[in-house]
Amino acid sequence: MNGRRPVRVATVFTHRRASETSAALLLLREVAERHGSVLRFSAEETSKHELQPGPGIVVDAPFDRNV
């Protein structure tokens, strides 16, 4: 390990064009799942990307300044 602590929880924000970020979002979800991290999506992001809750995916998450 490189001495850095792994990210366990992250809030995800993307720009308006979901079609341009879908591939990156899929990769991010795969990496997070592999490392046991949780991704949080606001109601806007949840709707924009048509997300469903699942392992490591929190949808309609309220804003949390600590994440």
Count of residues in the chain: 67
Q: How confident is the model at residue 2 (pLDDT cuts 50, 70, 90)?
A: low
pLDDT tens digits, one per residue of 12-66? 999 888 888 989 999 999 999 999 999 999 999 999 999 999 999 999 999 888 8
Q: Which amino acid, 13? A: F
- Structure token pair of residue 23: 């591939």
* Entry pTM: 0.85
Please identify which residue in the block is written with the tokens 């392992």.
Answer: 55
The reported pLDDT for the residue numbered 67 is 81
